[in-house]
Chain A
Amino acid sequence: MKRKYLITVMRILAPVLAIVLSAFISSIVILAIGKSPWQVFYTIFRFSLSRLDSVAIILYNATPLIFSGLAVSLGFRMGLFNIGVEGQYLIGAFFAALAGFTLKGLPAVIHLPLVILCGALGGMLWSFIPIYLKVKRGVHEVISTIMLNYISYSLIHYLIADVFMDRTQKLLDGLGSMLARTPKLPPSALMPKLHGLLGLFGIELPRHVYLNWFFPLGLLMAGLTYYLLMYTPFGFELRAVGQNQEAARTAGIKPERVYMVGFLLSGAVAGLVGLSDLLSYFGYMDLDFPRNYGFDGIAVALIGQNNPFGIIVSAMLFGFLKRGAEGIQTLLNVPMDTIVILQAVMIMSIVVITKVMNDYIKRLEKKEDVRVCSSQNSSLQV
């Protein structure tokens, strides 16, 4: 009983402590370049939260991170480390773009879901390689997914710049050179913004905000993931394998099958990471397509304690920091990379704090066991 209570407290306390600790360490960094940490943090809050469109941008920033955090956490839950979300989402985005610009004349109700499905399929396909190698050949998924990330960078570069490059681009006044990008996606493949819905509630967002329906879709995905993990037999198997693979095997669960299905699911969710950017902001895929969402997802999953709802909160935290970073760079001339340092320190402190707390609980338990044992002994002697 006591243990359960302690674990709950710890799960909430650990991220909070990690955030405080990393804010402290970043303050030192800010002081080192002769700026005031108080002013920096104040500006981050003011710049991010004082205006409605800014809040909407935070939610837009958080959207890919929700998917990415969920994808990474699915791996963590079964004891696998999916560093390959990075490559999986790029391949997924490319598949979606391909389905977007090759299929023409479809109504949006068919085209858009098809494009999203292709994104998931692309991510799944790219996650199949490492998990096949792991299950069949015993290759550690960390090394194979790192290698596949780099392979995907080159592959995407080749596909965008050589094979599917849009050669019909119009250049302004015939000046400049053509961009290495795919053809533009037709409107039927694009995700509508949330402006219409929010307008019903009297919230008017300016046009430069790209908050779209992928955000509610991300929330829905978190709910689905929670349901899958907690209320389905497969979710139970997945968690069992993650906690103790050998014990799960003894209980009749095949870890290899769970790894295969779970990792493919993780890859499918990863395939959706880039779609919010692709189907609303860009409308095509080019060489500057955003990178690093996969690595950000690792931080999001860890700070969110691999809990789908925790991931929503931590994705919003990172979306907020990203927005605030723009503020401190423009207003205070403090490099926006302060936030990247903050993020790195946050990852380290959360894992160290969790570890120390876990060890502490284990020690408490041992003490309790000893006490229980000795009291039983004494009662036997009587």
Chain B
Amino acid sequence: MFLSELLASSLRMAVPILLTALGAVFTERAGVVNIGLEGMMIVGSFWGALGSYYYGPYFGLLLAMAAGMFLALIHAVNTVTFRVDQIVSGVAINILAYGSCRFLSQAIFKMATTSPHVAGLPKIDIPVLAGIEFLKPLVSGVSPIIILALLLVPLTRFVINRTVFGLRLRSVGENPLAADTLGINVFRMKYAGVLLSGMLAGLSGAYLALEHTGMYVEGMTQGQGFIALAAMIFGNWEPAGALWAALLFGFSEALSFRVVEGGAIPYQFIKMIPYVLTLAVLAGVVRKSTPPAADGIPYERGMK
């Protein structure tokens, strides 16, 4: 029972990381580094709560994705159209998200840091499996977004590896000049990658507010946008890799809550696991990772 509860809790922790990491796969495979994902999760959590508060959870989800995409659009205009430094733009996006959500929360809910309780989506019991006692924590009362996130992994993999859109997206991230020569609209593909990442990060934020906590709380993303970037790197820029990394990081999150009483290892050290592992992967200690060849480099026509 303890084990299956721990696994269930790991899965719940992994979902926001996974959704954002899948978004990160889209934007980075298109060659745009997006450290604004954290901010896009923040606006997702706020607008998700706001939408759900007034018009119910489904509207909340839509609003959250739209808000994430709006910030992503700003990032795309900055980095693809104006070709400014992608990191600087991402930092500004994060500050904008933090400031605007506090501002709006103060203006609408009259509190800078929390919203009232909001409704989530109806929970699902998975038929047949829910009857088995051992699996109960894992398969009963499951949020539909968890199922959606898991389904998105093969879907993202299919889109990126098996469709024309995916091929073009990857070509733009590996060699934009060659892609441009072949008549692919480099700028449009990069916009698509960034916007998709904003949509998924917004959804992930909405999951936190609607499904995980039942309200918006300032700082509820806790840097999970950055953990998601780490998960994507750890997963070697692949959707399936991102899934395993997200599960690993979710597991360490879930574990950190449970060892507070045990006390053998301070829980702060368990919280460090995702970051330390990512450093280790990047340094090539655990295994080699290879980013897309033109990742982070703005594309300009007429440049070699």
Q: A29 near B103 (CB under 8 angstroms)? A: yes
Query: B92 within 8 Å of A by Cβ?
Result: yes
Binds A, one of B56-64, B123-131, B144-152, B275-283: B275-283
Q: B278 near A147 (CB under 8 angstroms)? A: yes
Q: Provide 30 A-B residue pairs closer than 8 Å at the C-beta atoms, listed in order of the A residue.
A: A33-B107, A81-B85, A133-B283, A142-B87, A143-B230, A146-B226, A148-B279, A155-B272, A157-B268, A158-B266, A158-B268, A299-B95, A335-B112, A337-B99, A337-B102, A337-B103, A338-B99, A340-B99, A340-B102, A341-B96, A341-B99, A343-B95, A344-B93, A347-B88, A347-B92, A351-B82, A352-B82, A352-B84, A355-B82, A356-B82
Q: B279 near A147 (CB under 8 angstroms)? A: yes
Digitize B240-276: 1 where CB-to-A-CB distance is under 8 Å, 0 elsewhere: 0000000000000000000000000010110110011
CA of A337 to CA of B283, assembled, Å = 38
Query: B187 within 8 Å of A by Cβ?
Result: no
Digitize A123-166: 1 where CB-to-B-CB distance is under 8 Å, 0 elsewhere: 00000000001000101101110111011001101100010000
Contacts of B78 in A (CB 8 A): 348, 351-352
**Residues in chain B within 8 A of chain A (CB atoms):** 33, 35, 74, 78, 82-85, 87-89, 91-96, 98-100, 102-103, 106-107, 112, 223, 226, 229-230, 233, 266, 268-269, 271-272, 275-276, 278-279, 282-284
Which of B88, B100, B112 has the largest count of A CB atoms less than 10 A from its CB? B88
Q: Which residue of B lies closest to A158 (CB)?
A: B268
Q: A139 near B87 (CB under 8 angstroms)? A: no
CA of A335 to CA of B98, assembled, Å = 13
By DSSP majority rule, is chain A's interface helix, strand, loop, or mixed? helix
Q: A154 near B87 (CB under 8 angstroms)? A: no
A356 CB to nearest chain B CB (Å):
7
Query: A302 within 8 Å of B by Cβ?
Result: yes
Which of A137, A155, A344, A355 has the largest count of B CB atoms less than 10 A from its CB? A344
B14 CB to nearest chain A CB (Å):
17
Q: B103 near A148 (CB under 8 angstroms)? A: no
Contacts of A356 in B (CB 8 A): 82
Contacts of A313 in B (CB 8 A): none
Query: A93 within 8 Å of B by Cβ?
Result: no
Q: A344 near B272 (CB under 8 angstroms)? A: no
Q: Which residue of A lies closest to B75 (CB)?
A: A348
Contacts of A275 in B (CB 8 A): none
Query: A221 within 8 Å of B by Cβ?
Result: no
CB contacts under 8 Å to B, within A324-350, are 335, 337-341, 343-345, 347-348
Q: B84 near A144 (CB under 8 angstroms)? A: no
Contacts of B106 in A (CB 8 A): 335, 337
Query: A45 within 8 Å of B by Cβ?
Result: no
Q: B226 near A338 (CB under 8 angstroms)? A: no
Query: A41 within 8 Å of B by Cβ?
Result: no
Q: Which residue of A lies closest to B266 (CB)?
A: A158
A155-B272, A341-B96 known; A137+B107 contact, CB < 8 A: no
Query: A101 within 8 Å of B by Cβ?
Result: no
Q: A298 near B103 (CB under 8 angstroms)? A: no
Q: B95 near A340 (CB under 8 angstroms)? A: yes
Query: A240 within 8 Å of B by Cβ?
Result: no
CA of A265 to CA of B270, assembled, Å = 31
B102 CB to nearest chain A CB (Å):
4
Contacts of B100 in A (CB 8 A): 29, 337, 341
Contacts of A335 in B (CB 8 A): 102-103, 106-107, 112
